Amino acid sequence: MKMEWSTAVYQLQKQGKAYVIATIVGITGSTPRSSGTKMVIARDQIFDSLGGGHLEHKVIQTAHKLLSENVDCQRLEHFELGIHLDQCCGGSANVLLECFAANHLNIMLFGAGHVGQALVPILASLPCQISWVDSRDCWLSESVENFQNVKKIISDNPQQQVANMPADSYYIVMTHKHQMDFDICHEIIQRSDYRYLGLIGSQTKWRRFKQRYVQRNITLEQLKSVNCPIGLAEVSGKRPAEVAVSVAAEIIAHYQALSRELQKGEPINKGIHWRQLKPILEGDRKTSKEKS
């Protein structure tokens, strides 16, 4: 069963993959598909169609070039089907290509207790990839199957899973054992390439952990990047849902601040001006009325 473009966009967003939406925004003469037709192009997948032929081939080529740049942008292209594309229809088409860059937000969540159960649905609604780790199969919710961006990992030694994550990952540690929390955080801190590390617990728990880490030759400077207690101080409350919202809010604030920092100094993408699109769209409506 072929996937429609709208369903494809939803799934690609959940998977954090880059994609291009190609839309015919104006036509003259005879063309394979009408104005408003859409298709979606990912790096290794294509969904729906603009009618096939050389037009679609050229659109896919242009989309792949945009995908290689991996930057949010828009481009308007004009195609003469007869003269340049050797299609017998002989008309022309204006195609708007909207590129949505890949999202590389990777999160590893340790712990499937009540807070973890409340947190996963919130995180799964974000453009990220989640690895959910616990040693207890029965505690990992079956509802994980409803989230395409959540991977369930059963492990008796969850700290060993840290090595499988890419650089710049986000880690949330909230298992059912303090020693397990300690061992997992130790592995993460030693990697020193994480974007975020949050540990659930009190100030007392973190103070004791710090003393033990220092004894293992981890510096106080390294420990400054650990968020414990986890979550935003402004979002108080100890109910699982309240803690989950607080943790999710802290992560969102963190990656949004990072995104703003990375965008500093970059040229602003102003997209396509309405004056450029208006005559195309109005011309297309006029052509449709004349045909009717």
- Residue 162 sits in the same domain as residue 246: yes
Residue 287 lies in a domain: no
* Predicted local distance difference test score (pLDDT) of residue 285: 53
Quick check: is 3 in a domain?
A: no
Is it the case that residue 75 has pLDDT exceeding 60? yes
Are 84 and 205 found together in one domain?
no
Domain co-membership, 78 together with 118: no
What whole-number distance in Å separates Cα of residue 105 and Cα of residue 92?
40
- Is residue 269 a part of any domain in this protein? no
CB 74 within 8 A of CB 98: yes
Q: Please give the DSSP secondary-structure letter assigned to residue 292.
A: -
Average pLDDT of span 238-259: 92
pLDDT tens digits along 107-145: 999 999 999 999 999 999 888 899 999 988 877 766 677
What does the pLDDT look like over 180-217, one tens digit per residue? 999 999 999 999 899 999 999 999 999 999 999 999 99
Residue 289 falls within a domain, yes or no? Answer: no
The residue-averaged pLDDT of 30-55 equals 87
Same domain, 179 and 42: no
Q: Which residues contact 166 (CB under 8 A, 6 or more apart)?
A: 104, 106
pLDDT at residue 87 tops 60 = no
Q: What rounded mean pLDDT belongs to the chain?
A: 86
Same-domain check for residues 95 and 210: no
My answer on whether 80 and 157 are in the same domain is no
- First vs last C-alpha separation in the chain: 34
Q: How many domains is the chain built from?
A: 2
Residues 6+ apart with CB under 8 A from 110: 133, 134, 158, 171, 172, 173, 174, 175, 180, 181, 184
Asked if residue 1 belongs to a domain, the reply is no
Q: Residue 157: inside a domain, yes or no?
A: yes
Domain match, 258 and 152 both: yes
Q: What is the mean pLDDT of residues 77-83?
A: 77
Whether residue 109 contacts residue 184, with contact meaning beta carbons closer than 8 Å, is answered with: no
176 & 213 share domain: yes
Last residue of a domain, one of 77, 102, 127: 102
Q: Is residue 4 part of a domain?
A: no
Are 110 and 248 in a shared domain?
Answer: yes
Q: Are residues 250 and 219 in the same domain?
A: yes
| Average pLDDT estimate for 159-182 | 96
Regarding whether 165 and 59 lie in a shared domain, the answer is no
> Which pTM was predicted?
0.70
What CATH number did the domain enclosing 120 receive?
A: 3.40.50.720
* 113 shares its domain with 215: yes
Q: In sequence order, what DSSP letters do the residues of 192-247 get, joined into one string?
A: ---SEEEE-S-HHHHHHHHHHHHHTT--HHHHTTEESS-S-TTS---SHHHHHHHH
What is the predicted pLDDT for the residue at 81? 73
Domain span holding position 236: 106-263
The reply to whether 201 falls in a domain is yes
Which residue, of 76, 102, 128, is where some domain finishes? Answer: 102
Q: Which among 102, 125, 159 is the end of a domain?
A: 102
